Amino acid sequence: MDLAGKKIVLGLTGGIACYKAAELTRALMKEGASVQVVMTQSAMQFITAVTMQALSGRTVYTDQWDGRVANNMAHIDLTRDADAIVIAPCSADFMSKLMHGGCDDLLSTLCLARPAHLPFLIAPAMNVEMWQNPATQRNALQLKADGIALLGPDAGEQACGEVGMGRMLEPEQLLHEIVAAFQPKSLAGKRVLVTAGPTFEPIDPVRGLTNRSSGKMGYAVARAAYEAGAEVTLVSGPTALAAPHGVHRINVQTAEQMHDVVMAHAEANDVFVAVAAVADWRVANVSEQKLKKSGDSPAPLLQFEQNPDILAAVAARTNPPYCVGFAAESENLLQYGEEKRKKKNIPLLVGNIGPDTFGKDENELVVFDANGHKRLTLASKMQLARQLVAEISSRLP
Ligand code: C5P
């Protein structure tokens, strides 16, 4: 659980995206957080306090003058043992209030009274014109300058029927951002390039060769690097996974495409983590038309040629980024892992201990460097990715 023991004050302000706050509450609690909901009067036009109370299992606060609070200081009491304040959705009006330090209801007063060290995240949600209005843009800039984290908004269809910037992030994206707020920023200011997933090598226009990589480990590494403060580019073969929020994903199909994209980005990055299961060979005689079976004519013969080794090519550059490779061996991992690290001339190689980690959510790893090897015991791929990011950042010059 990524938020075990964390106490989150979740503020809701007036906006149709309040319905997503119900889902967010559940998601936060599933990760082990306790959620104290505070709502403005406008928020209660969109979703009831009863719903939020039932989901959070806690009394919802809506009023500065709440007779249940003995000292009448809910705005102080609620934040003093909190670990973070999240406002989702945050309306244009509430942003404006935060910018000016206005405090005419419980939620705004609580925000003004928050301890300075407390992580404070807001998820703007409003109509596209309201978001683009210079007044809101000024407010957004000032709030960032004040150290407030703005999560989104995103572009897309809006409840009003218009299309553009202003949609609140989805609950899962918000959850990931909140989890990220608690991670150490060991890669702040760094750029990280990650490959993930399988590649797909065509045989003809409808058929091709691929492998069982799900992309989960590579996507977890990309997300963990983003959590650690890096600017992340993820070069991904075909997978069913959504791009981690905040990560720039470039989709490719073949090993050659992956090679070209990676080489174009290698120089701009400080770290390169090659997690993709790249096909070693591609079909040399790709058919332009679909291969037809007809009568008892012989089965087609495929010829192969070798794909470029992307990791070795990046490592061979002058001034390469810090290169990290992965190895999936079915035997003798300790011997083959170290040999592979030396052969590819990379400082760090990560071996999968489990013989069959494809598609699974858990894994067990060994990391090899010039000083030897170290085990990362069985854990979720996300937890392992965070440990790996820590291993990488501690080795960066
Ligand atoms: O040589 P092998 O395929 O076992 O090496 C695995 C490592 O090399 C992984 O990090 C993988 O992403 C990378 N690799 C690559 N390009 C290839 C083959 C493997 O970047 N053509």
Say yes or no: CB of residue 278 within 6 Å of ligand 1. yes
The one-letter amino acid code at 300 reads P
160 is catalytic: yes
**Res 314: pLDDT:** 97
* 191-395 and 7-181 share a CATH fold: yes
Catalytic residue among 18, 103, 160, 323: 160
Q: What is the CA radius of gyration of the chain?
A: 25
3-class SS shares of the chain: helix, strand, coil, % to 5 = 35, 25, 45
Cα(173)–Cα(185) distance, rounded to whole angstroms?
19
Residue 333 has pLDDT above 90, yes or no: no
**Res 295: pLDDT:** 79
Q: Just give the CATH number of 7-181.
A: 3.40.50.1950
Separation of CA 99 and ligand 1 centre (Å): 50
Q: Tell me the best of 275, 282, 311, 344 to mutate to test the pocket of ligand 1, counting ligand atoms within 8 Å of each CB and taking the most.
A: 311
Mean pLDDT over the full length of the chain? 95
The pLDDT tens digits of the residues spanning 283-310 come to 999 999 999 888 778 889 999 999 999 9
Say yes or no: CB of residue 274 within 6 Å of ligand 1. yes
Task: Specify whether the CB–CB gap between 283 and 306 falls below 8 A.
Answer: no
* Banded pLDDT at 330 (limits 50, 70, 90): confident
Domain boundaries, the chain: 7-181, 191-395
Cα–Cα nearest to 12, from 98, 90, 85, 74: 90
The pLDDT tens digits of the residues spanning 252-293 come to 999 999 999 999 999 999 999 999 999 999 999 999 999 988
Cα(36)–Cα(41) distance, rounded to whole angstroms?
16
Q: Which of the listed CATH numbers 3.60.15.10, 2.60.40.10, 3.40.50.10300, 3.40.50.720 matches domain 191-395?
A: 3.40.50.10300
**Res 28: pLDDT:** 98
Task: Specify whether the CB–CB gap between 28 and 55 falls below 8 A.
Answer: no
Phi, psi of 155, deg, nearest 5: -95, 155
DSSP string, 194-252: EEESB--EESSSS-EE--S--SHHHHHHHHHHHHTT-EEEEEE-S-SPPPPTT-EEEE-
**Res 75: pLDDT:** 86
Cα(219)–Cα(225) distance, rounded to whole angstroms?
10
**Res 355: pLDDT:** 63
The pLDDT tens digits of the residues spanning 14-34 come to 999 999 999 999 999 999 999
> From the alpha carbon of 313, which atom of ligand 1 is closest?
20
Q: What percent of the chain has pLDDT over 90?
A: 86
**Res 158: pLDDT:** 85
Average pLDDT on 189-201 reads: 98
Average pLDDT on 351-378 reads: 88
The pLDDT tens digits of the residues spanning 59-78 come to 999 999 988 888 888 888 88
Separation of CA 388 and ligand 1 centre (Å): 18
